[in-house]
């Protein structure tokens, strides 16, 4: 037999008792096991309600789509056309004329009263370049116009005289010598008229040459005439 001291408590015989922390863990695990089925049932119920709502919306959308057609998309149609595209090439270099045309005066002894272009100017064919003093030529033109009128009057008079002489000769009232004289006078007056007309045409030509014009279209690269200069015939004025 063993000895038991006074005041001491004898140890309990049997299986060991679990601690308080162990009891709490076991109780929490048991509670989770009992709560899991209830939570699962609640989650399934919520999902079923959401599915029912979604199905109703889809059904309403399908019914609405079936009753009203979807709006079409607006499309713009453009006709294809062919157009030209301008390409600009920039380059540096020296440009020279492939043909140079000297421009001079055909009528000499006149003073340049106007110079209308300068070096670098672009001109068109027939454009005035220089104006020469044409006052003397205009005076000669008026004089020769009067000479033509006089020659025309003399020619008309001699034509009428010849016609009368021929009539008198046929009737026997005029000699052949008188008829020959009338014929000679008529021919002389016609010659004078032709000469007066030729002189008038020459003066008109010289008057037109008093305005020096561009023979071709192009660019002026040199100028050798100034205002007030007396221009001689054949002198180069431009190039």
What's the confidence (pLDDT) of residue 194? 96
200 lies in the same domain as 215: no
Q: What is the CATH number of the domain that holds 121?
A: 2.40.50.100
What's the confidence (pLDDT) of residue 32? 43
227 lies in the same domain as 200: no
pLDDT in tens, 1-37: 333 333 344 444 444 454 444 444 444 444 445 444 5
204 lies in the same domain as 144: yes
Which residues are bridge partners to 52 per DSSP?
Answer: none
139 lies in the same domain as 129: no
pLDDT band at 199 (very low <50, low <70, confident <90, very high): very high
- In this predicted structure, the answer to whether residue 133 has a pLDDT above a threshold of 80 is yes
What's the confidence (pLDDT) of residue 10? 41
pLDDT band at 40 (very low <50, low <70, confident <90, very high): low
The β-bridge relationship of strands 122-123 and 110-115 is unpaired
Number of domains in the chain: 3
Average confidence (pLDDT) over 181-198: 95
Q: Between residues 60 and 213, which one has the greater pLDDT? A: 213
pLDDT in tens, 70-89: 667 787 888 888 888 888 88
As given in the structure block, the two tokens for residue 9 are 């408590």
């Amino acid at each position: 037999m063993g000895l038991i001291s006074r005041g001491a408590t004898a140890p309990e015989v049997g299986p060991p008792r679990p601690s308080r922390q162990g009891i709490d863990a076991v109780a929490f695990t048991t509670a989770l096991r009992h709560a899991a089925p209830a939570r699962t049932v609640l989650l399934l119920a919520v999902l079923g309600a959401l599915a029912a709502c979604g199905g109703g919306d889809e059904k309403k959308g399908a019914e609405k789509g079936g009753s009203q057609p979807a709006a079409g998309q607006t499309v713009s149609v453009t006709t294809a056309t062919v157009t030209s595209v301008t390409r600009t090439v920039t380059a540096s270099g020296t440009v020279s004329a492939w043909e140079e045309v000297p421009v001079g005066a055909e009528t000499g002894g006149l003073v340049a009263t106007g110079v209308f272009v300068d070096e670098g100017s672009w001109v068109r064919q027939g454009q005035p370049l220089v104006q020469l003093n044409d006052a003397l030529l205009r005076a000669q033109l008026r004089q020769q116009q009067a000479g033509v009128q006089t020659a025309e009057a003399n020619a008309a008079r001699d034509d009428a005289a010849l016609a009368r002489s021929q009539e008198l000769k046929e009737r026997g009232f005029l000699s052949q010598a008188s008829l020959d004289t009338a014929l000679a006078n008529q021919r002389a007056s016609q010659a004078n008229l032709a000469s007066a007309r030729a002189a008038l045409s020459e003066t008109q030509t010289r008057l037109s040459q008093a305005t020096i014009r561009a023979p071709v279209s192009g660019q002026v690269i040199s100028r050798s005439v100034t205002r007030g200069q007396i221009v001689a015939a054949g002198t180069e004025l431009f190039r």
